[in-house]
Each structure stands twice: as structure tokens, then as C-alpha cells.
């Protein structure tokens, strides 16, 4: 399996791969106010240093797959990238955000340490090829409609575009119409494709079809058990959206993890990952 290194030149270096400490991709779902973003980044930086947890800061400048156009979608490309550039410089954290079109990539690559392909766009050929040519690491979120083996398709597009720094993120499989199910067997299957695998625990607890502002729109109390199970199954990294006050979040309020509870969860996951490494399973 490839080892993928992210960051450097002004930010911390974070490595994902076999035998390495469990790495985290963490931050608010979407960019909100500067004060909230700064407070979250500062807390994540302190946790990263205190617990020796490699961490990439994640927040989206645009959420282009909302249920309706009236939902908060973020500040947009220019203002959002300016915010992420500030976080990268101020807190020396590598940064990640989604891209949604080929036209966004030229600007995004100037700021982002990792370009993320959203789940619904994981088969979008022109977008993958443009991301692969950007010179940046690419994190591909597996669409809930795609099998683990099906991730060979986006991998092939990225590799043929010249990209060898690829992360694969598992975020659940469609079960019925409005629910995702975590298939732990997907993690080793995807690892067999040759790249580090990240587990997204937050999106798997959403109840799609119900607004995320509705308490029925997710079951965030299940995040810790799913996350621990994924680490035990050999995940190389964790993707987890977190917010100081999830119920007041402007996006995915029902599935973001409370920032003030994150330290304990990080400690649990780190200890479990160390045990798995010692046994040769990570």
C-alpha cells in the first residue's frame, strides 16, 4: 500500500498509510464565521499536539448538494479559500475542502493541501482527471451507490492523470432510501486497491430526507461505536466533522460531533489503533 504524505511548506506534515499512527481529517462541515472557524482550528491544533494525533483541517467552502437551494451552502470559492488559507497560516494545519467542478481546481490547488472529491461526484471523469493533474493529493469519497471494488475506477482515472497520492474515504452504503449502513468489510477491500483508507463516521449516522436541523435527522450518539469499529477493522485514518455547538451548525447539525467531546474519542481511537498496529493489522 502507498503511504500518502500531506502538508509541509508552512503546515504540519501528515502521513496516511500502513503501520503509521491513525490520522484525522477534522473540522466543521462548512465554513461559518471566522470566530467559530478560528476557535475550532485552535482547539484541533491543541488536541493534535497534546495527543500526538496527525490532523488535517477540513471545512467546505461550498456545499453544492444540499436538499434545496435555500439551505446554507457556504461562503463560496473565493471567500472560503481565503478563510482556509488563513487557518493554514495561523495554525499551521494542512487544509482540505471539496471541489465540485473543473473550474474550481486552479484556485483550490493554490490553497488546499488536499483536494476532496465529493461522494456524488466520485465517478465524474473530467473532475477526477483535473484533480489528478493538479499536483495535489486527492481524497475520493466513495459514493453510497458504489461497491468497494468499484473504487478502482476513480483510482484508475487519477493514476492515468499522474496522481499517486490518493486517499479513499468510506462513508457508507445505501440501505433502502434514506439510510446508510457501515460495511466494515469495505475497509480491507478498499485497502487491497493499494491506497490508505479513511472512515467517515459522521455521514453514516445521517437520516437522509429529514432536514439536518431536525433532531431526527441523525443519530450522532452512534459515531463513537462506528469509529471504534472502523479502527479495529484497520482504517488508516478518520474523517469526522466537528462543531463547537452542533445543534446550531449551519449544515449537518444532526451528524457533527461535539468539539468538547472530541478529546476522549481521539484518545480511545488512538489507543485502539496502536493496539492494531502492534498486532500487525493496521
pLDDT digit string, tens, across residues 186-230: 999 999 999 999 999 998 888 877 777 676 788 899 999 999 999
Look at residue 84 and tell me if it is in a domain. yes
Same domain, 91 and 192: yes
**Domain count of the chain?**
2
pLDDT score of 215: 66
Same domain, 162 and 248: no
How many residues are recorded in the chain? Answer: 282
Residue 224's CB is within 10 A of a number of other CB atoms, namely 16
Residue 240 structural domain = 201-274
Q: Residue 39 is inside which H or E element, if any?
A: helix 34-51
Read off the pLDDT of residues 123-148 as tens digits, 9 standing for 90 and up. Answer: 999 999 999 999 999 999 999 999 99
Read off the pLDDT of residues 86-121 as tens digits, 9 standing for 90 and up. Answer: 999 999 999 999 999 999 999 999 999 999 999 999
Same domain, 259 and 223: yes
The pair phi, psi for residue 175, each rounded to 5°, is -130, 110
Q: What is the mean pLDDT of residues 11-28?
A: 96
CA 149/CA 250 separation, integer angstroms: 34
pLDDT score of 177: 82
CA 52/CA 49 separation, integer angstroms: 5
In sequence order, what DSSP letters do the residues of 178-201 get, joined into one string?
Answer: TEEE--TTHHHHHHTTTS-EEEE-
Is the model's pLDDT at 253 over the cut of 90?
A: no
Same domain, 76 and 192: yes
> Is residue 56 within 8 Å of residue 6, measured between CB atoms?
yes
Per-residue pLDDT band for 70 (boundaries 50, 70, 90) equals: low
Q: What is the mean pLDDT of residues 258-266?
A: 98
> Is residue 197 within 8 Å of residue 170, measured between CB atoms?
yes
Q: What is the mean pLDDT of residues 32-56?
A: 97
**Residue at which a domain ends, from 196, 215, 248:** 196
CA 258/CA 185 separation, integer angstroms: 28
Cα separation of the two ends of the chain: 11
The pair phi, psi for residue 143, each rounded to 5°, is -65, 145
Look at residue 232 and tell me if it is in a domain. yes
Same domain, 149 and 229: no
CA distances (Å), origin 80, targets 35, 57, 219: 14, 13, 29
Could you give the angle at the alpha carbon of 282 between the alpha carbons of 222 and 7, nearest 5°?
85
CATH of the domain at 158: 3.20.20.70
Is the model's pLDDT at 67 over the cut of 70?
A: no
Nearest to 114 by CA among 130, 87, 96: 96
Same domain, 164 and 136: yes
Amino acid at each position: 500500500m502507498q503511504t500518502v504524505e500531506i502538508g509541509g511548506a508552512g503546515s504540519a506534515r501528515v502521513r496516511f498509510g500502513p503501520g503509521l499512527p491513525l490520522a484525522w481529517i477534522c473540522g466543521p462541515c462548512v465554513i461559518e464565521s471566522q470566530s467559530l472557524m478560528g476557535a475550532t482550528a485552535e482547539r484541533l491544533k491543541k488536541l493534535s499536539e497534546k495527543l500526538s494525533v496527525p490532523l488535517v483541517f477540513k471545512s467546505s467552502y461550498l456545499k453544492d448538494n444540499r436538499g434545496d437551494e435555500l439551505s446554507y451552502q457556504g461562503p463560496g470559492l473565493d471567500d472560503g479559500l481565503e478563510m482556509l488559507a488563513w487557518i493554514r497560516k495561523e495554525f499551521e494545519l494542512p487544509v482540505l475542502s471539496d471541489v465540485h467542478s473543473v473550474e474550481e481546481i486552479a484556485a483550490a490547488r493554490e490553497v488546499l493541501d488536499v483536494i476532496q472529491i465529493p461522494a456524488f461526484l466520485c465517478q465524474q471523469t473530467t473532475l477526477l482527471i483535473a484533480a489528478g493533474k493538479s499536483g495535489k493529493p486527492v481524497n475520493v469519497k466513495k459514493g453510497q451507490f458504489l461497491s468497494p471494488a468499484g473504487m478502482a475506477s476513480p483510482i484508475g482515472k487519477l493514476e492515468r492523470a499522474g496522481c499517486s497520492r490518493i486517499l479513499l474515504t468510506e462513508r457508507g452504503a445505501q440501505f433502502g432510501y434514506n439510510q446508510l449502513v457501515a460495511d466494515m468489510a469495505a475497509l480491507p477491500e478498499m485497502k487491497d486497491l493499494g491506497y490508505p483508507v479513511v472512515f467517515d463516521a459522521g455521514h453514516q449516522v445521517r437520516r437522509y430526507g429529514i432536514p439536518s436541523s431536525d433532531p431526527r435527522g441523525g443519530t450522532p450518539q452512534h459515531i463513537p461505536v462506528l469509529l471504534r469499529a472502523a479502527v479495529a477493522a484497520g482504517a488508516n485514518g478518520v474523517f469526522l466533522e466537528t462543531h463547537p455547538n452542533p445543534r446550531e451548525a449551519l449544515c449537518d447539525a444532526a451528524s457533527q460531533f461535539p468539539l468538547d467531546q472530541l478529546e476522549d474519542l481521539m484518545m480511545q481511537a488512538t489507543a485502539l489503533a496502536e493496539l492494531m498496529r502492534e498486532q500487525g493489522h493496521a
